[in-house]
Structure formats: C-alpha cells, structure tokens
Amino acid sequence: IIGRPGRGHSIWLFWRDGSFAGWYVNLEDPWRPSRSGFDTEDHTLDLWVESDGSWRWKDEDELAVAVEVGFFTAEQAASFRAEGERVIAEWPFPTGWENWQPDPSWPVPSLSADWEA
C-alpha cells in the first residue's frame, strides 16, 4: 500500500500468480497517525487500474446508496470523485513497486492483542 501525506487516496498493488495485475486506488480520508500506525476512513468509491493502463470506477452504486441514506452528502461524494479524477489526471502509474516481492525468508508478522482485524 502506498500512501502520500495529505492525499485522499492510497494505491494498493496486486499480483496474480506472481505477475503484476494492477493498482487499486482506495479513495479515503488522508491518513492520520495513530497509536497503532495510521487511521483513515474509506470513501466507498474506488478505482481499478489494469496493468495495461485501462481503468474503471468501482462501487459507484454503493456510493449512491450511501448518499441516499445520508452516510455521505452529495458534496462529499463529488469530492471523492474529484480525488479519483485527480489521480487519473496525475497518472502515478507505474509506482516503482510493481516488481518488488517480500523476501520469502521473512517471518509472517503477527498482530498485537489490541488490533482489530
């Protein structure tokens, strides 16, 4: 996961069978430092960018329902979409992390007792 300070998104990289598959752009509140790392709030609307550069919106229907029931305002929803449009306009792909793989000898980390997973 790649996050930049003050930005309303993070970029998640995905692999399928060892090959790079694409980028998931999670639209969210800017990360806030917390005792256990960072906190954020998801904005429901996201982007999927294929490794070939084609892209699409994700969960537009879920965001519409969230606005309809009052979880988000129409203005908030518009700002989430604007952040996604900014990401596409800036085109931060590739990120430079597409070929990175963790060392297979690394142990699997464990979560602390107060972590909610």
Of these residues, 28, 44, 58, 72, which one is catalytic?
58
Kindly report the pTM of this predicted structure.
0.88
| Range 2-37 burial, b when 16+ CB lie within 10 A, else e | ebeeebbbbbebeeeeeeeebbbbbbbeebeeeeee
- Chain-wide mean pLDDT for the chain? 94
Q: 84: closest CA among 16, 29, 14, 9?
A: 9
Kindly report the length of the chain: 117
For the stretch 105-115, pLDDT in tens is: 999 988 888 77
Q: Which fold is adopted by the domain 2-90?
A: FomD barrel-like fold (2.40.380)
Task: Mark whether 14 is an active-site residue.
Answer: no
pLDDT at 47: 99
For the stretch 62-84, pLDDT in tens is: 999 999 999 999 999 999 999 99
Q: Identify the band that residue 104 occupies on the pLDDT scale cut at 50, 70 and 90.
A: very high
